Structure 1
Amino acid sequence: MLRFPLSSFSDGFSTPLPTLPPIGWQILAVAVWLGLIGLLAEGLRRSGGSAEAVRKVVHMGTGNVILLAWWLDMPAWMGISASILFGIITLLSYRFPILPGLNSVGRKSFGTFFYAVSIGALTAAFWQTAPYYAVMGILIMVWGDGLAALIGQRWGNHPYKLWGMQKSWEGSLTMFGMSYIVSILLLMGIHGNLWQLWLISLIIAATATALEAFSKLGVDNLTVPIGSAIVAFWLNQALLV
């Protein structure tokens, strides 16, 4: 048991610190991380940041909690339960002003809800046996899709239209590059530096970029992570086994 020494006090007694079970510390770690992201987003909002910038800070910050969950070896049921709860909250927020900072993007979008669904689906599918596929899919969505939107809006000087939606080459190239980096780093950590990994990562990045190009109603928050994870799983089974 952890104890805080009180020898400096005149009574000389020692008082034990409160103890938590492992799951309690896991929940506390996640809560602290999400609290820091919330403070950062609120600070950005108060300093005059755009609604889209605030939304992307939350999008990227909360998504990275998957790394914390992986490091702490959190059970799958926690991730699935959290995604269900957050999914319900986001559905309610489309009717009530619960999450105005996340849903005020200037267009009709269910991206926040799809975000929750994708995390729950990937956790249910891969967490018990191959969690790195879930991590890969979510991080591709977090870093690829998140930075693609920010860079595309800020420096997207070469637009193109696809299925009636306007994108930019700058944003799509960012999506491709970040998806490739996430894929190769995770795969190298699992299998080692094999030539197949470079090819697999290229295919994953191309798939994620193509899926992100179709983002009507925010559906890319569902198709990008799930599609990337499935392609990664299938290619690894086909080329590395």
Structure 2
Amino acid sequence: MTLVFQQILPISLVGFYLGILILISEILRRYYRANSEITRKIVHIGAGQVILLAWWLNIPSYLILLASLGASMVAIISYFLPILPSVNGVGRKSLGTLFYALSIGILTVLFWDKSLPQFTAIGILVMTWGDASAALIGQKWGKHKYQFLGSKKSWEGSLTMMLVSAIVILSILCFVYPWHNYFILITLSTAILATFLETFSIIGIDNLTVPVFSALFCYYLLQLFS
């Protein structure tokens, strides 16, 4: 009974947090006429912080995988039916939300049960903070445009992606491990890779490639140097 309670409480907290997040974004969209891209980024960033809750509450991997599967199914339905406009955006044809959910499941399989949740967190938070910051800065202040494989970006957005990703990666490494000078090289290398992957974002594929390959690259670099 105690074990069941210990599992139900963390899930309830996560569910409550996500419910409040979506509710706030829907209220902003419907009653305050907030731009759908803004509400989508609020959900995008806010939902990513769930990985920190899961890490802190030590939620077992199978529950995270179930949540990833459930979110994937909702994303597929929402792609065809506008059930959550604040998540997908009005008229937005992208599989980014699906790839977002899948990336959480993949990173959980790769790292969670190996007692390496920090790399799951690195992948997800690089995507949530880095990608969202790049989009918001690029749309508002991006004056120097470029195009890569059909994806239109700005140098301002890409530099923001690299800077925010570096902050996320270095913060988590310093939180988990004793300081080493090679953290700087690992951080910069991973941030550059994440920024490169983010430049190719057709149909939202960067929501899969950025978190998965950034986490794997950071992990293997750390193994190489340590």
Interval containing the TM-score (normalised by the shorter chain): over 0.9
Q: Quick check: 1:82 aligned with 2:67?
A: yes
AA aligned opposite 1:226: V
User: Aligned partners of 1:27 and 1:203: how far apart in 2?
Assistant: 35
Cα deviations across residues 121-176 of structure 1 (Å, max 9, x unaligned)?
A: 00111011211000100000010001111111111111111112210111101100
Q: Within 1, Cα distance between the matches of 2:54 and 2:200? A: 29
1:124 to 90, 99, 109: 109
Q: Which runs of 5+ in 1 are unaligned?
A: 1-19
1:179 to 157, 165, 172: 165
1:94 aligns to what SS in structure 2? helix
Normalised to the residue count of structure 2, the TM-score between the two structures is 0.94
The yes-or-no answer on 1:226 pairing with 2:205 is no
Residue identity matched to 1:125 = L
Aligned CA RMSD, in angstroms, stands at 1.3
Q: Which protein has the bigger helix share?
A: 2
Superposed, which structure 2 residues align to 1:206-225 within 5 Å? 206-225=192-211
1:119–1:138: 8 Å Cα contact kept in structure 2?
A: yes
More deviation, 213-222/145-154: 145-154
Residue identity matched to 1:146: A
Indicate if the aligned counterparts of 1:136 and 1:183 stay in contact, CA closer than 8 A. Answer: yes
Q: Matches of 2:90 and 2:111 in 1, distance apart?
A: 31
**4+ residue runs of structure 1 moved beyond 4 angstroms?**
none
Alignment of 1:29 onto 2:13: yes
Name 1:143's counterpart in structure 2: 129
Q: Is the 8 A contact 2:145 2:153 kept in 1?
A: yes
Partner of 1:201: 187
Partner Cα separation in structure 2 for residue 103 and residue 71 of structure 1? 28
Post-superposition shift, 1:42? 2.2
Moved more, 101-110 or 62-71: 101-110
Conservation of the 8 A alpha-carbon contact between 1:90 and 1:99: no
Query: Mean alpha-carbon deviation: is it higher for 93-102 or for 162-171?
Result: 93-102
Residue of structure 2 in register with 1:114 after alignment: 99
Instruction: Encode CA deviations 1:7-47: one digit per residue, 9 max, x unaligned.
Output: xxxxxxxxxxxxx7111110111022112212321232121
- Aligned-partner Cα distance in 2 for 1:144–1:54: 17
Q: How many residues align?
A: 221
Contact 1:144 1:175 in 2 (8 A): yes
* SS in structure 2 at match of 1:128: helix
Q: Are 1:51 and 1:101, in contact at CA under 8 Å, matched by a contact in 2?
A: yes
Larger RCO of the pair (alpha carbons < 8 Å, separation 6+): 2
| Aligned pair partner of 1:236 in 212, 222, 225 | 222
Aligned to 1:56: 41
Note the residue ranges of structure 2 that are not aligned, 5 or more in a row.
none
Aligned-residue sequence identity (percent) comes to 47
Aligned counterpart for 2:89 among listed residues 104, 125, 130? 104
